[in-house]
């Protein structure tokens, strides 16, 4: 791969990635049963779940409301459905709990097979990995199940488990959990301790072919984020599809915001917002860039 064919800033972003980054996370674990099995075991502290299938970016459509896209959807040999989300930032228990419930309910629709009794439904595990110890007890994981709030007894036979994983967990005995989280945030392949995680980061940026794929994923993700934002704003303002003037103004507004963010080169902005590069250069010159 010739580096001059690619934007240097994005190539540097590839090099600075760790597996906790969204793009790296999905590339490293998508379809990889052994690696995902290691991750599930480390997060949950369980060795009884043998992973048999893994899919990244699994879209689950809700015809009546908000749909979700799961970072990693895995299934065990006994039918357990496991959703693993690289959430990272914490915006309060109110938002996190609602996100967890949304993901759990979508998985719940998949857990009940036609004609099956409720008690025979598959186990559902929803995992959110956060950068910080949001519960503040220094534990590697916080597990939540349905319980009686008065006497704090767990509802026997419940098939739903929510797990908030503490990405900052480290200990001095080099436990599996500690090594897993250390490697999850490690950017240097040579310093990684777990073979599964090291190979995962190599898949993201270890060879020319993989760097090219990761670069492409970054471009695609950037386009999706900004185009989704543009589409949402366009629809909110009630503009019709055929109103060319309004569409051009929206594109220019989006280009302006991207230029102000100082994160993207002019050539990439032109591609993402679908404007001629000269037009974007004009906007940049007005900003003194």
pLDDT at 5: 58
3-state secondary structure 214-227: HHHHHHHHHHHHHH
DSSP-assigned beta bridge partners for residue 166: 130
Closest listed residue to residue 183, CA positions, set 174, 167, 194: 194
Higher pLDDT, 41 or 203: 41
Q: Given CA atoms 158, 161, 162, 165 in this order, what sign does their dihedral have?
A: positive
Q: Report the run of H or E that residue 69 belongs to, with start and end.
A: strand 68-76
Does 182 score more than 70 pLDDT?
yes
Asked if residue 71 lies in contact with residue 57, where contact means CB atoms within 8 angstroms, the answer is yes
Buried b (16+ CB within 10 A) or exposed e, 153-186: eeeeeebbbbbbbbbebeeeeeeebbbbbbbbeb
pLDDT top residue among 65 and 150: 150
Type and span of the H or E element at 245 = helix 244-261
Q: From 94, 87, 82, 77, select the one nearest 162 (Cα to Cα).
A: 82
Please answer whether residues 31 and 55 qualify as being in contact, where contact means their C-beta atoms are separated by less than 8 angstroms: yes
How confident is residue 2, by pLDDT bands cut at 50, 70 and 90? very low
- State both tokens at 77: 């040999």
Whole-number Å distance between alpha carbons of 289 and 283: 9
Helix 33-44 vs helix 195-205: angle between axes, to the nearest 10 degrees?
130
Counted residue by residue, the chain has a size of 289
Residue 217 scores a pLDDT above 80: no
pLDDT per residue as tens digits for the range 235-285: 555 545 545 566 777 788 888 888 887 778 888 888 878 888 888 898 888
Instruction: State how far the Cα of 140 lies from the Cα of 47, in Å rounded to an integer.
Output: 16
According to the model, what pLDDT value does residue 221 have?
63
Q: How many CA atoms lie within 13 A of 65 on its CB side?
A: 4
User: Is the pLDDT confidence value at 160 over 70?
Assistant: yes
Distance separating alpha carbons of residues 146 and 158, to the nearest angstrom: 7
Tens digits of residue pLDDT in 71-86: 899 999 888 899 999 9
Residues 218-226: what's their mean pLDDT?
62
pLDDT score of 1? 38
Q: What is the sign, positive or negative, of the torsion defined by CA atoms of 138, 143, 146, 147?
A: negative
The CA distance from 18 to 47, in Å, is 25
Does the pLDDT at position 55 exceed 60? Answer: yes
Given CA atoms 93, 98, 99, 101 in this order, what sign does their dihedral have? positive
């Amino acid at each position: 791969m010739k580096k001059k064919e690619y934007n240097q800033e994005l190539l540097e972003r590839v090099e600075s990635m760790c597996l906790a980054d969204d793009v790296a996370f999905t590339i490293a674990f998508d379809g990889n049963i052994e690696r995902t099995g290691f991750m599930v075991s480390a997060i949950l502290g369980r060795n009884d779940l043998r992973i048999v299938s893994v899919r990244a970016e699994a879209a689950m459509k809700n015809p009546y409301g908000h749909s979700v896209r799961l970072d990693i959807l895995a299934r065990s040999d006994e039918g357990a459905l496991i959703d693993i989300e690289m959430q990272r930032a914490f915006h309060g228990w109110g938002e996190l709990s609602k996100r967890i419930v949304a993901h759990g309910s979508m998985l719940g629709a998949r857990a009940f097979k036609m004609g099956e009794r409720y008690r025979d439904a598959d186990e559902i595990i929803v995992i959110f990995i956060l950068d910080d110890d949001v519960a503040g007890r220094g534990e590697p994981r916080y597990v939540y199940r349905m319980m009686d709030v008065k006497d704090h007894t767990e509802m026997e036979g419940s098939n739903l488990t929510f797990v908030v994983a503490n990405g900052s967990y480290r200990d001095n005995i080099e436990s599996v959990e500690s090594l897993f989280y250390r490697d999850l945030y490690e950017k240097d392949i040579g310093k990684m301790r777990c073979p599964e995680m090291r190979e995962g980061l190599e898949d993201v940026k270890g060879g020319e072919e993989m760097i090219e794929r990761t670069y492409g994923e970054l471009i695609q993700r950037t386009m999706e984020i900004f185009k989704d934002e543009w589409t949402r704003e366009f629809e909110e303002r009630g503009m019709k599809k055929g109103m060319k003037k309004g569409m051009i103004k929206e594109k220019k507004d989006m280009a302006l915001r991207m230029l102000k963010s100082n994160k993207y080169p002019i050539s990439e902005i032109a591609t993402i917002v679908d404007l001629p590069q000269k037009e974007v250069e004009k906007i940049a010159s007005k900003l003194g860039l």
